[in-house]
Structure 1
Amino acid sequence: MSASSDPGVRSLVASVLWPGFSGRTAPDWLLHALDEGLAGAVYFGQNIDQTDAAQLPALSARLREARPGVLLGIDEEGGPVTRLEAATGSTLPSASQLGRVDDTTITRAAGVELARRVRASGATVALAPVADVNTNPRNPVIGTRAFGATAELVGRHVAAMVAGIQAGGIAACVKHFPGHGDTAVDSHLGLPHVTLPAAVVESEHLPPFQAAIDAGVAAVMTSHVVVDAFGDLPATLDPRVLGMLRERGFSGTIITDALDMAAIRAEFGAGAGAVRAILAGADLLCIGNPSDLGPKHGSTSDLDDYAEVRDALLAAVDDGTLPIAALERASRSVAGLSEWTEAASRAGGASSDDGEAFDTARVVREAIAVRGSVSVPAGDRVVLDLRDRASAAVASTAEPFSVALGAERVVAGPLGTRDAVAVMSDALGQIPEDGAVIALVDAVQPGSSQRRALGILAVARPSAVVVNTGLPAPDALVLPGLDTYGSSRATAAVVAETLTGVAV
């Protein structure tokens, strides 16, 4: 009997798969897969109706009805990365803001609050926190998602956040092992390489993951990053790299980053990558958000993406490439994570450590840095948004700053690879002579397009104020402003209060 026609093998394969899906109700194929033994599903923004507080809990209840113990994950970090508040922006601080404040008690409380929100949605696994050490200031995908740029700082806050999330009754999944912090390529779009010596990776990037393991983290997510010192494969597919997790005492579930990302799909194929990931020691295969991040054969659906990975595993069992024992090992680990979440659900979770609501505004006020005189007069306010397009990790297109500032208009000039002079010429032509200009930027390292644009703006509008939602520049900018260390609705409210003197 072939694997594809053996119910036991099909159930075993399904038990290590974690797909995304389209829509705000459970599609028939997903319910059928859960009946067949599917591990669960991952929620993304398109699954959530943010005008209806009952919708997501009802969806979670339907999936739990289809399969008790189902693992329901959500990519919810706070700051720039949110699915629960994708339409408006997060009301939790970024990891970078928490690192700036550097109070692990506050970070733990933020974890408890994040868990409360995830638990209310019916999800059981938070794909957080980020344990990457952002040592490359030009990193296009981590940045303010990291607690900071040193292993010691990141490690203590990772441990605190893990403790808070799991005290709140939600399984934490720390990411992206063995570190995405020294990359210059977004793995959603290509295959990053880390060229650091092994000793530097060991000393500067692995300690936060060890801190998470020591804190009892339930799951670790792999990165689609090649660490040249460790081998030629991305970590997700490399048995040596995943073995390092077990050598460090991690006994929980190893979850892959999404297999629809171009770093896997374009280089190996999602199906072939899934087989190699299980062979390397991964347990739960995150298939991801139905997308076009990597090459596909025409237009495909959420079911097509799921079936591609499922069928590749079944074919690999049939041809002997994938031993049943490897699937059984992975399935046991996934079952263990499900048992953890079920026990946590029965126990309930802390709502806060002190009985008071978590004060995000206080964290943001303490975290932001003010450069020069930054008051903005009443009257016409124009937001000039020069920031890069949101990455696939961030996903949310919410722009809360113009709302918080009461801007009369928003002039969008995302630079990307376009000429800064041409973009600024067009943008300045749209701004009234008497308008107060607030420029939003997020990539202001020397030589960047946004830095060149600010130089042009300083000449044309020397009264402009800069709000930098990314990491600060290593040198002085030509205009006064704020370094916010994150972008969120909560950050926008504090920025508006700081610039106008009026609370939002």
Structure 2
Amino acid sequence: MPHRSTDPTLRSLVAGVLWPGFLGRSAPDWLLRELDAGLAGAVYFGQNIDQDDPDQVRGLSERLTVRPSVLLGIDEEGGRVSRLETAHGSTLPSAAQLGRVDDTAVTRAAGAELGRRVRASGANVTLAPVADVNTNPRNPVIGTRSFGATADLVARHVAATVDGIQSAGVAACAKHYPGHGDTAVDSHLGLPRVSLPREEVEQQHLPPFQAAIDAGVAAIMTSHVVVEAFGDAPATVDSRVLGMLREGGFTGCIVTDALDMAAIRATYGSGPGAVLALLAGSDLLCLGNPFDHTYPGGVPSDEADYAEVRDALLAAVEDGALPVAVLERAAASVRALSERVVALAAAAGPAEGFDAAAVVRAAIAVHGSPALGEREAVLLDLRDRASGVVGSAAEPFAAAFGARRIQVGPLGGRDVVGAVSDALGAVPPGAQAIALVDAVQAGGPQRRALGMLAAARPAAIVVNTGLPAVDGLPLSGVDTYGSSRVTAEVVAALTATS
């Protein structure tokens, strides 16, 4: 009797709930084969897109769209997280900047512009907006990706962004349910835990997701976060948590955060984690960026990443751990998302005007008199290294300031005194020092570095691309609430005339 896992119908059913990344800027043969066999679609990352050829990604999308139901996703938030502009920096404001301006009409217009760009690329789902309420100032992964620190502020801007994105003919996917905003661990690198009382989670972190549901969001992404008030498993694999999402009235597609992230890969494994996610109620399994992993021989393997999860699902069906009915439920939800995408594209409105620089100018906060003058500028980059998923290859501030850049950070675990002394020794006596920081809360290494800089170079200025310190900055400077290219250009122009 043949194994069920060799049944073409079953293999197509499994493929229909998988959403892999892939390597390169053209469609690999294995991906085209799997799309022909029923694969849900694919997710774009920065390494799939030629930043200097606007026609490349559109042509790639056309090649991958072997049928109208193919879902092409992209992790495009604007601000700190951009795939379409990863090489040079985003020309859209961050969520934090939009929250600072706090005009939902402006936020809707930003969402519409984001959606227009995604649709122009040929993608039809964007993994945005971030619905997390950033209540932990030391959060290493959300920060300025969030609209703010209060539920009502974030909720109204999430709803406006969903409306804007979907008005442009693209499905929005709000993330990361039930909230990644109170974490101190990056789930790309470890397993975060939230110890808040249940009532606090419900009052401070769930309302933005409800606002997204009420706004008609097409998809919601899970978080790989343990919320102890709800259980001891990450939300992605916890049926109680995902059941709450359905109880809140959400009938759309539940998408997992990337299963290659350490919070799942290092605890369960991507394959077993995928099985558990489906059993918990997830529908579409995002596999992540194969560029982030290596295999024997030291090279990434997109097909191996995909096969690992596919084969785990087939084996789980074979041994009875994964009922076919669960796959059928998930596949039906994915098909419904595909139908929704087609309907959104058909109803898309005309392009709207949007002035990103005006938003940034209104959002930034200037402290003291951070004037550059005519002197040579040297940029001391003290910032932490962002995870590969949220970090951009671009460094727009050096270009915007016309400054020589010295990479000093990350400072965690290092001799801060030695690192800063060495950096200052490379700054000519007559030059203007600019400190680029992103984590300036009291007690941290970047704050210590700024204290040293203030003593040695009191005319130095600070450009803080993260969230502001509660007790201010020890030097003149700017809290930018973002690190995009448009932010760098606005700040450079402002400090040139201060």
- TM > 0.5 fold call: yes
Distance in 2 (alpha carbons) for counterparts of 1:13 and 1:298: 29
Q: Which residue of 2 aligns with 1:24?
A: 25
C-alpha displacement at 1:346, in angstroms? Answer: 2.7
- Secondary structure, in 3 states, of the residue corresponding to 1:312? helix
Partners of 1:390 and 1:397 within 8 A in 2: no
Tell me, yes or no, if structure 1 residue 58 matches structure 2 residue 53.
no
What is the aligned partner in structure 1 of residue 363 from structure 2? Answer: 367
Instruction: Measure the CA separation in 2 of the matches of 1:185 and 1:372.
Output: 33
- What's the C-alpha RMSD, in Å, of the aligned pairs? 1.2
Are the aligned partners of 1:169 and 1:350 in contact in 2 as well (CA < 8 Å)?
no
SS at match of 1:496: helix
Give, in angstroms, the shift of residue 422 of structure 1. 1.0
1:9-88 alignment runs, 5 A limit: 9-64=10-65, 66-88=66-88
SS in 2 for 1:176: strand
Q: Tell me how far 1:67 sits from its aligned partner.
A: 2.9
Are 1:436 and 2:432 counterparts? yes
Deviation sequence 1:381-433 (CA, Å, 0-9, x none): 111110111222323121101111111x1111011321210110110111101
Tell me which amino acid in the other structure corresponds to 1:402: A
- The SS at the match of 1:455 is helix
1:413 match: 408
The corresponding residue for 1:389 is: 385
> Is residue 354 of structure 2 the alignment partner of residue 358 of structure 1?
yes
Q: Distance in 2 between matches of 1:271 and 1:298?
A: 22
Corresponding residue for 1:243?
A: 243
In structure 2, distance between residues paired with 1:244 and 1:298: 44
Contact 2:370 2:461 in 1 (8 A): yes
Residues 243 and 445 of structure 1, relative CA distance in 2, 3 Å threshold: same
Counterpart code for 1:441: V
Q: Aligned runs of 1:103-252 on 2, under 5 Å?
A: 103-252=103-252
Residue by residue, what CA displacement relative to the aligned partner does 1:33-57 show, whole Å, maximum 9, x if unpaired? Answer: 0011000000000000011110000
Question: What is the one-letter code of the residue matched to 2:151?
Answer: A
2:478 matched residue in structure 1? 482
The residue that corresponds to 1:336 in the other structure is 336
- State the alpha-carbon separation in 2 of the partners of residues 148 and 364 from structure 1: 15
Which letter does structure 1 place at the counterpart of 2:406?
A: V
Question: Which is further off, 165-174 or 493-502?
Answer: 493-502
Please state whether the residue corresponding to 1:251 is helix, strand or coil: coil
For the residues of structure 1 that align with 2:291 and 2:273, how far apart are their CA atoms? 17
Distance across 2 between alignment mates of 1:298 and 1:136: 40
How many residues are treated as equivalent by the alignment? 495
Q: Secondary structure at the match of 2:259?
A: coil
Relative to the length of structure 1, the TM-score reads 0.97
Taking the aligned partners of 1:452 and 1:350, their CA distance within structure 2 comes to 50
How far off is 1:68 after superposition?
2.6
Distance, in Å, in 2 between the alignment partners of 1:422 and 1:371 is 28
> What residue number does 1:8 align with?
9
**TM-aligned CA deviation for residue 117 of structure 1:** 0.2
> Which of structure 1's runs of 4+ aligned residues deviate more than 6 A?
295-298
Alignment of 1:326 onto 2:326: yes
- Cα distance in 2 between the residues matched to 1:210 and 1:154: 11
Structure 1: runs of 5+ lacking an equivalent: none
Percentage identity across aligned positions? 69
Select between 422-431 and 99-108 the one with higher mean Cα deviation.
422-431
1-structure distance, mates of 2:417, 2:145: 30
Q: Contact 1:188 / 1:262 at 8 angstroms: preserved in 2? A: yes
Paired residues of 1:70 and 1:338 also in contact (CA < 8 A): yes
Q: Distance in 1 between matches of 2:415 and 2:351?
A: 49
Contact 1:16–1:38 under 8 Å retained in 2: yes
Question: What is the alpha-carbon distance in structure 2 between the residues aligned to residue 468 and residue 219 of structure 1?
Answer: 33
Matched, 1:426 2:427: no
Q: Which amino acid is 2:9 matched to?
A: G
**Which residue matches 1:450?**
446
Matches of 2:122 and 2:484 in 1, distance apart?
23
Distance 1:154 1:269 in 2: 33
Is the Cα contact below 8 Å between 1:260 and 1:291 reproduced in 2?
no
Question: Residues 10-53 of structure 1, C-alpha deviation per residue, up to 9 Å, x if partnerless?
Answer: 00000000000000000000000001100000000000001111
Q: Which residue of 1 aligns with 2:468?
A: 472
> Using the alignment, how far apart are the partners of 1:288 and 1:4 within structure 2?
24
CA distance in 2, matches of 1:125, 1:91: 20
Letter in 2 for 1:439: A
TM-score, structure 2 normalization: 0.98
Once residues 347 and 108 of structure 2 are traced to their aligned partners in structure 1, the CA distance between those partners, rounded to angstroms, is 19
Deviation per CA, 1:118-168: give whole Å up to 9, x if none: 000000001000000000000000000000000000000000000000011
Paired with 2:284 and 2:463, the residues of 1 have a C-alpha distance of: 40
Report if the CA contact (8 A) 2:79-2:482 is conserved: yes
Q: In the aligned structure 2, how far is the partner of 1:472 from the partner of 1:316?
A: 48
Matched residue type, 2:46: G
